[in-house]
Structure formats: structure tokens, C-alpha cells
Amino acid sequence: MKKKITLSVLVLSILSLVVFFTLQKKVPVINPPIDEEDKEYDLNPEVPFVIVIDAGHGPFESLDKEPNAPGSTDMKYKSVVGATGNITRVLERDINLTIALQLQTLLTEAGYTVVMTRIDNSVNLSNIQRATIANEHHADLMIRIHNDSSSNHENHGASVLVPANVGYAGPIVAISAKYGKIILDTLISEVGMASRGVKTRSDQTGFNWSKVPVMTVEMGFLSNPEEEQNLVNTSYQTKLANALFKGIDSCFDGYKWYPLIY
Ligand SMILES: [Zn+2]
């Protein structure tokens, strides 16, 4: 009898060890645990990534104001007018839109789910509204497309702006900076313009209300004569769109992406 019990204990111990090690192997190593409330957020990399493209500015300037960040009493204009080319009088909003539409085509053809904040000059969106569109679509990335401008006409080159730890943006600061660097580096190497670096900004309403990775790409200065001539050139615009596509694709290539909890 004693022998039987000893044998049973031995068999049970071995079985427990087998079960233990089998379970150990099944513990997911890629995806961290998901909060109950985030269950609707799709973490399956088989599902196309969602890119929200925001062509900066719109049909008119709005003198209405909105909070710079959730709960903030600092009020900023809902939408400001973009830059204008000194030589050609081209409007920034139109260049932004042209490149945004080309980028939409490239990303869609590559299998991304693309959401546009605007596809023409008929809507006047505030910065909170733009951020909300990306939040509601659980975007994997929101890219805000702009041109720069300065009273110093010598200023030139591209920069990427990324959020600081303000408002909703805390959890997406690091990933936005990572993607921002990849996209700026690609833009510089593909188009050949000067780099002004990745800049962290705490004053951008569109960042402070964002719950998803976000950046603003400043594709050169409309106030710089040479860059203005480039920016109105259709083949240069296509080059910019291709470079942005390549940069975005590099962010998600090989699922370097990791699930975000927000
Ligand atoms: Zn702008």
C-alpha cells in the first residue's frame, strides 16, 4: 500500500512538472497583458495598421478658441491660417493637401487603412477635432502634414515635431519620438533636404489631445525662396509623398510596432 502511494505521488509530481513547463511555454512573450477596457483595441498585427493623415490648415482662419490641453485654461485659436509662398503666393494648405492625397494613395495600395481628416478645402477643423478623429479610429499613427515659415528667409530644411508629456499625450511620447526620428531620417535621405531635427513640443493642441502616436512633419520652408520653388514642383511633391510613405512603412516594417495600452 505504502509503495502504491509513493508511486502515485511520484507520478503526480512528474505530471505537475510537465503541466507547469507546458504552461510556461504558452505564456505570450510578445504582447503584454491588456486592460479589460482596452479589449476593443485590436492588437492583431494581421489587421492593417490605421494611419490618419491630417493635411494642415483649411479654408479659413477661426477666431474661436479651444483649450490647449484637456482641463487647461490656456485657450488657443481653433485653426490658424497656414504659410503663403513669397514668390508664387501658393497656400500651404494646398501643398499639404496635395501631398496628403498622394500619401493616402500610396498607403492604401500598400494595404494600410487610411483615414483622412480632410480631402478638400471644404472643412475647417479645429486641432481638437483633428486629434479626436485619430483617437476615435485608434490610429497606429497620426501624421500631420505642414510646411514651415519664418521671417528669416535663410531658414530652411525639414523638421518633425512630437508631443511632450502634456494632457492625454503622456503614454504616446516615446513611441511618437521613435516614429518621428524614423520618418525624418527617411525624408532627409530620400529628398536630400537639410535636417532641423525632431523637436518635442508641449504647446501643440493637436498633440495634447492625442491618445495615439502623433507627429507634425514640416516639409521645408515656404519662406525660403529655394524651398518654395521645390515645394510647388509636382515631381518634388511626389518625392516628398514617396519619402513619407517609405518612412511610415519603416515604422511598421516587420512588426517593430508593439501594442500600446491607452
Ligand atoms: Zn502649417
Q: Could you give the 3-state DSSP secondary structure of residue 7?
A: helix
Q: What is the pLDDT of residue 118?
A: 96
Local structure of residue 194 (DSSP, 8 states): P
CA of 58 to the centre of ligand 1 (A): 10
Ligand 1 center to 50 CA (angstroms): 23
Q: Residues with beta carbon < 5 A to ion ligand 1? A: 56, 82, 146
Per-residue DSSP letter, 115? E
Q: How far is the CA of 90 from the centre of ligand 1 (A)?
A: 13
Mean pLDDT, the chain, rounded, equals 86
**Burial class for 245, CB neighbours closer than 10 Å (0-12, 13-18, 19+):** buried
**CA 102 to ligand 1 center in whole angstroms:** 18
pLDDT of the residue at 32: 34
Report the pLDDT value the prediction gives residue 45, as an integer from 0 to 100.
54
Count Cβ neighbours within 10 Å for each residue of 127-164 and write b for 16 or more, e otherwise. Answer: bbbbbbbbbebbbbbbbbbbbbbeeeeebbbbbbbbbb
- Tell me how far the alpha carbon of residue 182 lies from the centroid of ligand 1, in angstroms: 21
Predicted local distance difference test score (pLDDT) of residue 15: 58
Residue ranges in the chain whose pLDDT is less than 70: 1-46, 254-262
Convert the pLDDT of each residue in 161-217 to its tens digit.
999 999 999 999 999 999 999 999 999 999 999 999 999 999 999 999 999 999 999
> What pLDDT, on the 0 to 100 scale, is given for residue 189?
97
